[in-house]
Each structure stands twice: as structure tokens, then as C-alpha cells.
Amino acid sequence: MKKKQPMFESYEKNVDYLKDYLGVDESFDMIHLDLFYANRKMSLFMVDGFVKDEILHYLMRLLSRLNPEELETDPLEKLLKTHISYVELDKVDDLNKAGDTVLAGPTALVVEGVDEIILIDARTYPVRGPEEPDLERVVRGSRDGYVETIVFNTALTRRRIRDRSLRMEYIQIGRRSQTDVCLCYIKDIAEDDRISHLRRVLNEIDTDALPMAEKTVEEYISGQHWNPYPVIRYTERPDTAAAHLYEGHILIIIDGSPSVMITPATFWHHMQHAEEYRQKPLVGAYLRWVRFIGLFASLFLLPLYYLFSIEPDLLPVSLSFIGPEETGMIPLLLQFLIAEIGIDLLRMAAIHTPSSLATALGLVAAILIGQVAVDVGLFSIEVVLYLSIAAIGTFATPSYEIGLADRISRIALLLATGIFGLKGYIIGITIWILYLAHMQTFKTPYLWPFMPFSLRAFRDIFIRSPIPLKNRRPAFLHPKDPDR
């Protein structure tokens, strides 16, 4: 907690302290204006680029018209309630807090003879327009998405939830960065204990800054540092966030990030997508099942094919065609590992390649390199086929974090199969299931409703139920109002 610095009796000492605290003479974008209105010295402190010029010009014109007698008695109250015509005004008697507020964007007004500093929140941020997120595109639906400014994101959320019990709690995290964080929930639905727990955990974060915004916060509040599977779901879609709020989830919105954190989130939450609810229930259920097939194919198909390749006796006669006809010059297991690394290299190269060249890069890598590797005998053609199926299943997974975690699990299962054969494959899958079953997301079983089993919730997970029939909120959230 930063030490409080009370106001000095001298106006000059207050101004000098803020100039030194903010580094006015050392930073070109830190602005200090010396003013003289109504026979009183005044100072404005602001950050260039964070201020709406027209609003400050308007307020300065109002101050310039003041007569000295208008500020003779109760000058602070008269300035706040009469002469400064603006909506977002505040006052503070702590110089350090005033300086930190200026660094966040508002303007500080120091007035001679007034024992508090007036804060004018006339800030603006460089920000892009709300655009549809690349990772959560839909054929039909809204095209707006969260941006990097917290006020914009809270407004996009409140636009969809006109509920009087919607709460946006403001928290600052980071001794140096003073990053704005919002805890968002519907008070009449969300569980109080869960809200209190998250509030306490956020307030206990002790670090100097949040350089990676939501990912830094996740590592503090999840407590599972070496676990590849995410216990928090991310979304950049306001409609997805609103749907989770109505279920009883709690959102964490962080300034500087377009990704909103949804807590808690089970394994199955990461497998759902807004597109399923933008189509008819039967079509949505089909799309969900296709995603499930893609996920499990990306995890188990590649090690299973390798198992059949090294132990063909496991196959019935009718499936004896499965397995490579030509193994290639490199051992089959090594081919899979090299191809896995190659796909990740291609993905990283595509991210760092200008969009106009990314398609050409993909074609070169997928067609030329893959075909040449097969033609010269380094790779088997079946390796390329099954690895492509696994890669497609990974990219079809709605959650990017789950896709990365599944890739690590697939490599581990592939190695276990390569070392121990059939026993390694079975034991690897068993360990994977037990690992997920042992996990918890904020005191909630990660595989709920599969473990522990809940028939009603299990049905809603695997079948996209019609909205009129979903008249109950998820039981694991313990909502105050269980009925929709």
C-alpha cells in the first residue's frame, strides 16, 4: 500500500510536490499549466494524449469568467457544484493518490487556498473500434468485440445486460502500473462466497505491474502454474460474456486487454461456441458434436495410428490396411515429433508474417515442403494425413488455450505409446482422465458434470438444448436464483 501524502498548507509546496512526483520537467508528455483565475493561483496537471482538449478548453473558459468574490466562501464546494460544469468530478486530499490518478488519465486541478485537489475525468484513450474477434467468428450474430479500454468493455457488457443488479467493482492492481481491473457479476444471481473469494484474491495480488494483463492475473488467481489446461475461459465477444453472467459466472475485465476472463470455467465450457446458439437447436447440437469429434481425434487418433503401425496384430483382418506401406528413412515416432514441431513453427511464422503473405507461406509449407519430404522418402504419406487430421481437430477447438494444452497431451501420449506400446497408450489415456478429474476450477470439479455426474447438466453439455427448455441455471455455480 502506497504511503499517503497529505496536502501542504502552501499552494507552492503542493504544486512542487506534484511536479516532482509526476516528473513534469523530465517527461515531454506530462503537462503542467500555471493559471490565474479569480485572483487565485491554479494549476492543471495532465498527460498529453489522455485529455479531451475541447472539454478542458470549455472548463478553462468557465474558470476565466469567475469573479474573486464568487470564491470567497467555500471555494471547493462552489467549484464542484456550481462553476465546473462537468459530470465526472472528484476530490482528494492525498497528493500521491492525485498523482497516480493523473497517470491514469484524469486531470488534477490544484487551487490556491483549497485544501483538496479537484479531479476532472476528461480523459480519452487511443483505441480501435469494436471489431469481431478473429478467434470467435460466427456466420450470424453481432460483429462487435471487446477492445483494450476497460470503460468501453464495461459499456459493451452493460449494453446487453440492463439489470439493476449488475455490478462493476473497481480494483487497482500493481504497485507501479496501477492497472484498472473490474470484477463484473449480477448480484441477484452470482454466489456471494465466490464473489468474496475472487475479490479477496485480486486484492491480495502483490506485484509491481501487470505487463501481460489478463494472463498475469490468471497466474496469480488460478494457483496452478504448471498445469497446461486453462481453468479460466477467455472471450472477446460481449454476447458470450453476457450469456455467462446470466448463468451466474463472474467476469474479470482488465484495462489494456480485449480478452475478458470468465470464472469458473470447466473443461466443457471451453468446447462451446456462440455459433451453436446462432443456429437451430438440431444444427447447433450437430456442430457441437463435430467439435467434440475434432477434439478427441486430435488427442487420440495420432497415437492410436502409431500404435497400430508398431503392433499390427491388434488390428482385425478387415482393417489390416491401416499402417504405413513405406515407413520412410526416419523412424515413424521421430517423423511425428518433427511434424508436430513443424506445424508449430508454421503457426508461429504465420503469426509474424504480414497478412498479405501468410496465405502464400501456408501454401509453400503445406504443399511444397510436405510433398518434397514425402517424395524424397523422409516422411510417410500416412504421417502427413493423420497429422493433418489432428491439426484440424486442434484448430477446430473454440478455445485457443485448450488447443495448446491438447497438443502437449498428444505429444506426451505419443511418447508413452512409442515407449511402452499398448500399455503406454492405455495408461496414458487413464492418467489424462484422472488428471483432469483431479483438477478444480475455483473449487469446482473440472470435468463437471461428467465427474461428479449430473444427468440434467450432462445432457445440456452434449446436446445443444433449445433455449425455452433451459429453464435452470448450472447447479455447480450455486446461483441465488436457480430458475431462468
Residue 15 reports pLDDT greater than 80: yes
Number of neighbouring beta carbons within 10 Å of residue 439: 17
User: Vertex 135, ends 462 and 467: CA angle to 5°?
Assistant: 35
For the CA atoms of 233, 235, 241, 243, what is the dihedral angle to 10 degrees? -70
In the sheet where 117-120 sits, what is the strand order? 30-37, 40-47, 107-111, 117-120, 89-92
CA–CA separation, 153 and 262 (whole Å)? 14
pLDDT tier at 117, thresholds 50, 70, 90:
very high
Which grid coordinates are listed for 478? 450455486
pLDDT band for 392, please (50, 70, 90 cuts): confident
Q: Is 1 exposed, middle or buried (0-12, 13-18, 19+ CB in 10 A)?
A: exposed
Tens-place pLDDT, residues 125-165: 777 778 888 888 888 888 889 998 898 999 999 999 989 99
250-294 confidence digits (pLDDT tens): 999 999 899 999 999 999 998 888 888 888 889 989 999 999 999
Q: At 54, which amino acid appears?
A: E
Strand partners, 218: none
Distances (CA, A) of 293 to 13, 347, 444: 69, 22, 25
CA–CA separation, 205 and 174 (whole Å):
8
The pLDDT of residue 396 is: 85
Grid cell 515531454 is found at: 28
Residues 312-322: pLDDT tens digits?
888 887 777 77
3-state helix/strand/coil string of 256-310: CCCCEEEECCCCHHHHCCHHHHCCCHHHHHHHHHHHHHHHHHHHHHHHHHHHHHH
What is residue 248's predicted lDDT score, i.e. its pLDDT? Answer: 94
Cβ within 8 Å of residue 132, ≥6 positions away: 138, 142, 143, 144, 145
User: E strands, 10-72, where?
Assistant: 30-37, 40-47
Tell me the average pLDDT of the chain.
87
Grid cell 482538449 in the structure block, residue:
53
Tell me, what amino acid is at 267?
F
Residue 146: per-residue pLDDT: 93
- Amino acid identity of residue 396, one-letter, is A
CA pair distance 170, 65, nearest whole angstrom: 36
460, burial (CB in 10 Å: exposed 0-12, middle 13-18, buried 19+):
middle
Query: Residue 112 in 3-state DSSP?
Result: coil
Cell numbers placing 175: 504497485
Helices (H) and strands (E) in the chain, counts: 18, 10
User: H or E stretch including 340?
Assistant: helix 332-351
| Cα separation of the two ends of the chain | 42
In this predicted structure, the answer to whether residue 361 has a pLDDT above a threshold of 80 is no
Report the phi/psi class of residue 160: left, alpha or beta, with left for phi > 0 and alpha for psi in -120 to 50.
Answer: alpha
Distance between CA 31 and CA 43 in Å, rounded?
10
